[in-house]
């Protein structure tokens, strides 16, 4: 029973929460850099709402809308230069995990004369600019974590950095901004949120409080399973999924992730598989691999999913995700070796050897 717990982000949740609390934006600064990609911020309506509020509050703003689907070090370096040139005093990140993660890196680079690779030192002379986070997907939970996950071409994978100062200061969670997601993206991001709850729950770093949040998130996924498989997702379900995503983010902000993420990164890097979908591919074998180490917790999860076995749960996930990827033997061994380089591998409930990951990859594909 020895643990610490802190969430560095103030969360405002509910339909219309942005307009209802616009005074928070007004108090955040006078020059905002809006960080986003090309699509979801505009299509969701979130960008228009933010622009309207900023104009009403006489806050100057500039838009950096060049965030890639999986932002690279070069991508965030460009964003950092944009923040410096505009002399921004706070950042507003709008979008899915990529813009929110990029916002954290840009907030650091805006006020520190460092190379992007130095982000991974996690110690910065100047505190990053304050970040306002507005998610338009229900998956990453990045709005309540300190982590920024960036593509490392030098290592052929994705890696995260983050410290207590990279938590967004405030997050506005309005499920109305997730209604523009396609059914496929809705499923992929929901599975991503589930992977956070599952991995955090089974992590060596889990705590009594993180377990409470993880169980709640897993329970909600179980309540939304039928809607996700039938593509019958109303606003009530979207609110539940956004809530689940937030809970999952709170969980991993304390526990980190484990081998499911480590294996999934290679599918995203080499095969362009969406992050949540990549994690979902491994859920069946992940639970089987860890069962003996945390059988009581896995059994509790299965009850929340209202299934009697790991395979029954795996069949449900398979119905949601089209497995349109195949791997060669060389790819299997490469992906296993890259996953072993991830720090998160050491947090897995069961000790992991590279041969174990080869076995999981082989069984999955």
Specify whether 33 is located in the same domain as 170.
Answer: yes
Average pLDDT, the chain: 96
Please tell me the distance from the alpha carbon of residue 187 to that of residue 299, in angstroms, as a whole number: 24
Which tens digit of pLDDT belongs to each residue from 125-154?
999 999 999 999 999 999 999 999 999 999
> At 286, which CATH number?
1.20.1090.10
Per-residue burial over 304-324, b if 16 or more Cβ lie within 10 Å, else e, is bbebeebeebbebbeebbeee
> At 95, which CATH number?
3.40.50.1970
Check residue 1 and give its pLDDT.
76
Specify whether 169 is located in the same domain as 200.
Answer: no
Specify whether 292 is located in the same domain as 353.
Answer: yes
Record the pTM.
0.95
Check residue 40 and give its pLDDT.
81
Residue 357 included in any domain: yes
Which tens digit of pLDDT belongs to each residue from 246-271?
999 999 999 999 999 999 999 999 99
Residue 27 included in any domain: yes
Specify whether 220 is located in the same domain as 130.
Answer: no
Range of the domain at 73: 10-178
Specify whether 345 is located in the same domain as 213.
Answer: yes
- Whether residue 76 is predicted with pLDDT greater than 80 in this model: the reply is yes
Three-class SS state of 195: helix
Domain end: 178, 207, 241, which one? 178
- Whether residue 278 is predicted with pLDDT greater than 90 in this model: the reply is yes
Specify whether 277 is located in the same domain as 221.
Answer: yes
Q: Cα-Cα-Cα-Cα dihedral of 188, 191, 196, 202, to 10°?
A: -150
Residue 3 included in any domain: no
Report CA-CA distances (Å) from 61 to 32, 38, 64, 76, 168: 5, 17, 10, 18, 18
Tell me the mean pLDDT in the region 239-244: 98
Number of domains within the chain: 2
Check residue 4 and give its pLDDT.
86
């Amino acid at each position: 029973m020895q643990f610490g717990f802190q969430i560095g982000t103030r969360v405002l949740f509910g339909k219309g929460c942005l307009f209802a609390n616009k005074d928070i934006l007004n108090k955040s600064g006078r020059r905002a850099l809006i960080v986003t990609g090309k699509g979801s911020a505009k299509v969701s309506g979130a960008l228009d709402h933010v622009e309207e509020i900023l104009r009403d509050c006489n806050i100057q703003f500039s838009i950096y809308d060049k965030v890639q689907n999986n932002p690279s070090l070069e991508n965030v370096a460009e964003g950092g230069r944009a923040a410096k040139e505009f002399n921004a005093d706070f950042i507003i990140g709008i979008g899915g995990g990529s813009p929110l993660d990029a916002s954290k890196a840009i907030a650091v680079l805006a006020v520190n004369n460092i190379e992007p690779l130095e982000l991974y030192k996690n110690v910065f002379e100047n505190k990053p600019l304050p970040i306002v986070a507005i998610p338009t997907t229900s998956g990453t939970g990045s709005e309540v974590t300190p982590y920024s996950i960036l593509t490392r071409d030098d290592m052929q994978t994705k890696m995260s950095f983050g410290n207590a100062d990279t938590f967004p200061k405030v997050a506005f969670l309005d499920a109305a901004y997730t209604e523009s997601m396609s059914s496929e993206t809705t499923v992929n991001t929901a599975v991503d949120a589930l992977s956070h709850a599952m991995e955090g729950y089974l992590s060596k770093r889990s705590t009594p409080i993180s377990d409470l949040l993880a169980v709640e998130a897993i329970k909600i996924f179980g309540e939304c399973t039928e809607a996700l498989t039938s593509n019958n997702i109303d606003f009530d379900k979207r609110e539940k999924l956004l809530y689940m995503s937030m809970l999952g983010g709170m969980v991993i902000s304390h526990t980190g992730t484990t081998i499911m993420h480590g294996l999934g990164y290679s599918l995203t890097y080499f095969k362009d598989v969406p992050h949540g979908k990549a994690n979902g591919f491994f859920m069946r074998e992940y639970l089987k691999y860890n069962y003996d180490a945390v059988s009581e917790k896995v059994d509790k999860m299965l009850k929340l999913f209202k299934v009697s076995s790991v395979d029954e749960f795996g069949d449900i996930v398979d119905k949601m995700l089209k497995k349109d990827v195949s791997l060669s033997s060389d790819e299997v061994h490469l992906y296993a070796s890259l996953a072993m380089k991830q720090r998160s591998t050491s947090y897995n409930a069961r000790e992991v050897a590279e041969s174990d990951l080869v076995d999981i990859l082989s069984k999955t594909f």
